[in-house]
Homo-oligomer: A and B are copies of this chain.
Amino acid sequence: MEGRDLCLIDQRLLPHALKILRLSTYPEAIAAIREMAVRGAGTIGVTGGFAMAQAALAAPAGGGFWQEVERAAGAIAAARPTAKNLSYAVDRVRAAMKGAPGIEEARRRAVAEGQAVYDDDARMTEEIAKAGLSLFQGRRSVLTHCNAGWLAYPGWGSALAPIYLAHRQGQSVFVYATETRPRSQGAKLTSWELTQAGVPHALIADTAAGHLMAKGEVELAVVGADRIAANGDTANKIGTYTLAVLAREHRIPFYVAAPSPTFDAECPSGDLIPIEERDEKEVLEVSGLLATGEAATVRMANPGTCAKNPAFDVTPARLITGFITEQGIVEPNAQAIGRFLHSR
């Protein structure tokens, strides 16, 4: 955050252009979340926290201040429904403001708490990196889905954090990145991150994951999460559930990397997690670069055809080997998750 402005990478333009988006108001931040200029559970959360600070700075110091902050909190938390991190960050900033002696102090606390959410998230991903490191003992090839790197989460990212650390420590790591249609975050974001970091990897179509697992090419699967219910059921990018079923079929360990802000203690099970349905255009169209270097979107699908576009799915806890958290590996059951969340 610079003054009242929030500066973020416009993830819609990657990997073809690296452009910083400057957001001056909280409605601009909401639009950036909705349109997925910023995406990834942690990044959405942190953007939401700073958007609360923007709302506090902009709200009139007169009688309407708290009403305006409450209105903003509702709108920010509703920008996207699935990731828990968004309401987590909004609630933290709101709670920090409450009881402040005067509006100026409330504003100061809002900015400080937005920054604290960011700093805490970043620190937790360092712990996740260390906690996941042992999974690479004797394993080289890891499959990941969507993007759960530093674009998606402050600091090191979630699923990619242990991969980055293992690579830095000189371990031989090879990543299979699934394309992750419809928005192709694997092809556009994860592949870009891994290239920047020099981590050996290959992109595969989402259809190829089963074949590679059957051929013994995948030794470990690690994904991120958008919301984890109290019983361990996990909402993550559409396609995660399919990969978890395949991993179980091939006895491949399937880990979900997520710090505590992604856990939702008040949601008892996965069937209660709201699943966002997004515009069918995401399925029907694809964007990229023309041979001329110009950015373009092409209509790929048949013109008369409609598409269904659920953006997330739920992986039941029974298919998850463990959660990689800031406090180590947590077993995928209500008791272990309860202890973990209680101790944070």
Interface residues of A (CB under 8 A from B): 15-16, 176-177, 179-182, 184, 187-188, 191-192, 194-195, 201-212, 214, 237-239, 241-242, 245-246, 249, 275, 283-291, 296-310, 313-314
**What CA separation (Å) do A106 and B297 show in the bound complex?**
52
Q: Which of B15, B284, B309 contacts A303 (CB 8 A)?
A: B15
A207, A211, A275, A310: most-surrounded residue (chain B CB, <10 A): A207
Q: Which of B201, B210, B249 contacts A239 (CB 8 A)?
A: B210
Contacts A181-B206, A207-B242, A208-B238 hold; do A287 and B300 have CB atoms under 8 A apart?
yes
Extra 12 A-B pairs, beta carbons < 8 Å, given A181-B207, A287-B298 = A179-B181, A179-B283, A181-B205, A187-B300, A191-B304, A203-B308, A207-B238, A207-B239, A210-B239, A245-B246, A245-B249, A286-B286
**What CA separation (Å) do A89 and B201 show in the bound complex?**
40
- Determine the residue in chain B with the shortest Cβ distance to A286: B286
Q: Is the CB of A203 within 8 A of B307?
A: yes
Q: Is the CB of B214 within 8 A of A241?
A: yes
**What CA separation (Å) do A299 and B184 show in the bound complex?**
12
Q: Can you name 16 A-B pairs with beta carbons within 8 Å?
A: A184-B300, A184-B301, A187-B283, A188-B301, A192-B302, A195-B304, A202-B306, A203-B305, A208-B239, A208-B313, A210-B242, A211-B241, A211-B275, A214-B241, A245-B246, A288-B300
Q: Which of B15, B208, B237, B297 contacts A302 (CB 8 A)?
A: B15
Q: Is the CB of B291 within 8 A of A195?
A: no
- Determine the residue in chain B with the shortest Cβ distance to A192: B302
Chain A interface secondary structure, helix, strand, loop or mixed? mixed
**What CA separation (Å) do A16 and B177 show in the bound complex?**
30
Q: Which of B207, B298, B303, B305 contacts A290 (CB 8 A)?
A: B298
**What CA separation (Å) do A176 and B306 show in the bound complex?**
10
- Determine the residue in chain B with the shortest Cβ distance to A198: B304
Q: Is the CB of A195 within 8 A of B246?
A: no
Residues of B with C-beta under 8 A to A286: 286, 288, 298, 300
CB distance from A285 to the nearest CB of B (A): 7
**What CA separation (Å) do A3 and B306 show in the bound complex?**
41
3 shortest A-B CB distances, which residue pairs? A207-B239, A288-B298, A210-B242
Contacts A191-B301, A290-B296 hold; do A306 and B207 have CB atoms under 8 A apart?
no
A283, A286, A301, A307: most-surrounded residue (chain B CB, <10 A): A301
Q: Is the CB of A305 within 8 A of B208?
A: no
Residues of B with C-beta under 8 A to A16: 299, 303
**What CA separation (Å) do A301 and B179 show in the bound complex?**
8
Q: Is the CB of B310 within 8 A of A211?
A: yes
**What CA separation (Å) do A242 and B314 show in the bound complex?**
17
**What CA separation (Å) do A289 and B305 show in the bound complex?**
15
Residues of B with C-beta under 8 A to A305: 177, 187, 191-192, 194-195, 201-203
Contacts A208-B239, A284-B203 hold; do A298 and B289 have CB atoms under 8 A apart?
yes
